[in-house]
Structure 1
Amino acid sequence: MVTIRLARGGAKKRPFYHVVVADKRAKRDGRNIERLGYFNPLAEGGDDRLRLDMERLAYWQNQGAQLTDRVKSLLKEWRKMQSAQQEA
């Protein structure tokens, strides 16, 4: 089974996550199929906190990939950000 999940990067005490498509059996930071975006929980100023390639995300969901709970909540947050930007 294929999942869309977070792979941790960054340094000690400075996390940075890539949103990746990976086999469910692969290690958290191990082999992935495709990188769909990133999540930076410590973003400051003009830095992007979250970036996703929605076309590829939709493609993988149509192929049967399952989202982890954290990625589901990030997707919800991303949609709120996009609607707020369109209203402004």
Structure 2
Amino acid sequence: MLKLRLTRMGSKKKPSYRVVAMEALTKRDGKAVAYLGNYFPLEDSRVVLKEEEIVKHLMNGAQPTRTVKSILVKAGVWAKFEEAKKN
């Protein structure tokens, strides 16, 4: 099963994360299927996302983790997914 989740980047005490699509049983920093964006929690929670690719993966059955889902809701991508799911 494909999951949308975060992988840690950055140095010690200065985290940044990538939003990635990867198999559910893969290690946290293992090989990803696709890189879908970045999340910088120390820079006022700045988020950069590839919205079209994220919606495509969600439509194909990828499941986001709780943290990624909350990031998608705040960025408005989850609403786009819900709208695309209706059509």
> TM-score, normalised on structure 2?
0.83
CA deviations on 1:10-43 (whole Å, 9 max, x unpaired) are 0010100000000001000111000000000011
1:24 correspondence with 2:24: yes
TM-aligned CA deviation for residue 62 of structure 1: 1.1
Number of paired residues?
Answer: 77
Task: Give the whole-Å Cα distance in 2 for the aligned partners of 1:75 and 1:63.
Answer: 17
> TM-score, normalised on structure 1?
0.82
User: What residue is the counterpart of 2:62 in the other structure?
Assistant: 65
| Poorly superposed stretches of 4+, deviation over 4 Å | none
Name the amino acid aligned to 1:28: R
CA deviations on 1:50-79 (whole Å, 9 max, x unpaired) are 011110001101111001000010011112
Structure 2, unpaired ranges of 5+: 78-87
User: What residue is the counterpart of 1:12 in the other structure?
Assistant: 12
Which structure would you say has the larger Rg? 1
User: What residue is the counterpart of 1:37 in the other structure?
Assistant: 37
Counterpart secondary structure, 2:48? strand
Name the amino acid aligned to 1:49: R
Counterpart secondary structure, 1:61? helix
Counterpart secondary structure, 1:27? coil
Counterpart secondary structure, 1:77? helix
CA RMSD in angstroms, aligned pairs only: 1.6
Counterpart secondary structure, 1:70? helix
1:3 correspondence with 2:39: no
